[in-house]
Amino acid sequence: MPWESKQIHFVGGTGARLRDMDGNEYLDLFSKFGANILGHNDPRYNVRLADALTGAAAVNLGVNEVEAAEMIRAFVPSAEMVRFSLSGTEAVLNALRLARAYTGKSRFIRFFTHYHGNADSLLGGRVGNLDYPLPEAFDGDFTDTDGKARGTTEEAFLLPWNDLPTLDRVLSAYSDQIAAVLTEPICINGGGVMPNDGYLEGMRRLCNAHGVVLIFDEVITGFRVGLGGAQALFGVLPDLTTLGKAMAGGALPVSAIAGRREIMNLYNARKIVHGGTFNGYALGMAAIRATLEILSADDGRCYDRMAAHMRRIHDAFLRAAARHGLDFEMKGLDTAAVFHFRSGPDEAKKLPMISQYAVKLTSEAMAETGILVSNMNRFYGSIAVDDDDVALFEERIDDVFQIVAPFVEKMRGPKPTMTSPSRAVAAGGAQ
């Protein structure tokens, strides 16, 4: 960034607004990486958590767990049985272990730009030039990290997403080795990319044909894009689903694996370890119950309201960008969207650099202006977003592009040189 990023220390919040220690107010479209679907300080949620701490729920652990699992079963179409853990990472690792135990095979397929958690075996994988047989282990995935134990990504094949012929080719060649296909059903982490028509159906068909477990990682999409997650939107049922983030309202960490009885029953046969001191902890279960009760009240109409408010915010964002000569687009869904900078074909060569810069700059300028978005370019709304929040966004967004536009303009020139945004702000009159 051409300026030093400001450290923000939040001290409180209500609805879709947060307050920092200097008394500044922010519109929260970051929602803790999408987890905070209820917004902040929802009294219905707080009361339920307080009851759980002081009342029967704290000791009545088993009942709470069963009721939370029953609610998930009621909403998530493929959930016949459910088990709980704490983080999305754990849920994904457990789902892979389950798939291996069920199929007696060890490898799995995952996809470029998808993210499944902070574990060595989930960061990186084996790739090729798509002329299989597969090459040596590769460590160049964008989610890669230093410090991994050697060989931990050996079992993962990294493929391009939305490419059914390649998946078909690899599954056909290696079906005797592959236990699972692991995918975000909407690739939010890779930029809000929707599955092509028929892609998820094709995946389902290929997994059936090759005896491979299909895992939908709905840690982001679950209870965010609707009560039934992406699988309900597309009508394609995975064998296993991983859930986390929004499921417990964002204040408490809880994740889950949900799936087909035949596979999940391996746990009951005591063939698979599912360790975790706090698995199914009472407060987390109470948080799931409270969240799902709030989200499902009134036939889940809060999702329509959230989508409508967020659509108005996205429209205002795109309109403001256009007013300043910038060509942004929004991908994904109203409830989980990602913005990208798009430009004309004459700029194609410079586009990746300009695009990354514009996105980063825009996110930072938004924070400067009092609007928080997630992980650079994602808009995660909450059901707390209301008309006043939309109005606040509309009021402030021009200031953002007043800061961003001159910098992007310079990037487009032959020799980009940066001046400090504070000067740009002073000249442009932004706050």
Taking CB atoms, the residue at the shortest distance from ligand PLP is 88
Amino acid in the structure at residue 147: G
Rule CB under 6 A: choose which of 17, 116, 210, 312 binds ligand PLP: 116
* CA nearest to 375, candidates 37, 145, 32: 32
Q: Please state the length of the chain.
A: 431
Rounded distance between C-alpha atoms, residue 220 and residue 190, angstroms? 12
Type of residue found at 123: L
- Out of 141, 155, 184, 334, the residue judged to bind ligand PLP by CB under 6 A: 184
The answer to whether the CB of 378 falls within 8 A of the CB of 29 is: no
Site membership for ligand PLP, residue 284 (CB under 6 A): no
User: What's at 284, amino acid-wise?
Assistant: G
When asked if residue 89 is in the footprint of ligand PLP (CB under 6 A), the reply is yes
Instruction: In angstroms, give the least distance from the CB of 218 to ligand PLP.
Output: 8
Segment near ligand PLP (CB under 6 A); pick from 110-118, 170-178, 309-317, 336-344: 110-118
Q: Answer yes or no: 245 catalytic.
A: yes
What is the signed CA dihedral for 207, 208, 211, 215, rounded to 10 degrees?
A: 50
Q: Which is nearer to ligand PLP, 246 or 359 (CB)?
A: 246
Within 10 angstroms of residue 60's Cβ, the number of other Cβ atoms is 15
With beta carbons less than 8 A apart as the criterion, state whether 175 and 181 touch: no
Alpha carbon of 77 to those of 176, 236, 237, 274: distances in Å? 29, 9, 7, 23
**Listed ranges 4-12, 109-117, 389-397, 420-428: which one lies at the site for ligand PLP (CB under 6 A):** 109-117
Would residue 331 show up in a list of annotated catalytic residues for this protein?
A: no
Instruction: Measure the CA–CA gap between 75 and 290, rounded to whole angstroms.
Output: 14
Q: Counting contacts by CB under 6 A, is residue 199 touching ligand PLP?
A: no
Structure tokens at 45: 């949620």
Question: Which position among 65, 141, 217, 398 is part of the footprint of ligand PLP (CB under 6 A)?
Answer: 217
Q: List the one residue from 13, 124, 244, 370 that touches ligand PLP (CB under 6 A).
A: 244
The footprint of ligand PLP on residues 333-392 (CB under 6 A) is: none
Q: Which of 42, 141, 217, 399 is catalytic?
A: 217
- Check binding of 220 to ligand PLP (CB under 6 A): yes
Instruction: Rule CB under 6 A: choose which of 27, 69, 79, 92 binds ligand PLP.
Output: 92
What x-and-dash track marks residues 310-329 binding ligand PLP by CB under 6 A? --------------------
* CB-based contacts of 421, cutoff 8 Å, min separation 6: 2, 3, 365, 368, 403, 407
CB atoms inside a 10 Å sphere around CB 43: 8
- Quote the tokens at residue 174: 């290696």
Figure out which of the listed residues 13, 39, 88, 238 binds ligand PLP, where binding follows CB under 6 A: 88
219 binds ligand PLP (CB under 6 A): yes
Residue 87 within binding range of ligand PLP, rule CB under 6 A: yes
239 noted as active-site residue: no
Alpha-helix runs per DSSP H in 224-371: 229-234, 261-268, 282-323, 351-369
Q: Which of the stretches 8-16, 23-31, 214-222, 392-400 binds ligand PLP when contact is defined by CB under 6 A?
A: 214-222
Which member of 13, 15, 39, 117 binds ligand PLP (CB under 6 A)? 117
State yes or no: residue 249 binds ligand PLP (CB under 6 A): no
How far apart are alpha carbons 8 and 333 in whole angstroms? Answer: 28
Q: List residues with catalytic annotation.
A: 115, 217, 245
Which parts of this chain interact with ligand PLP (CB under 6 A)? Answer: 33, 87-89, 92, 115-118, 184, 189, 217, 219-220, 244
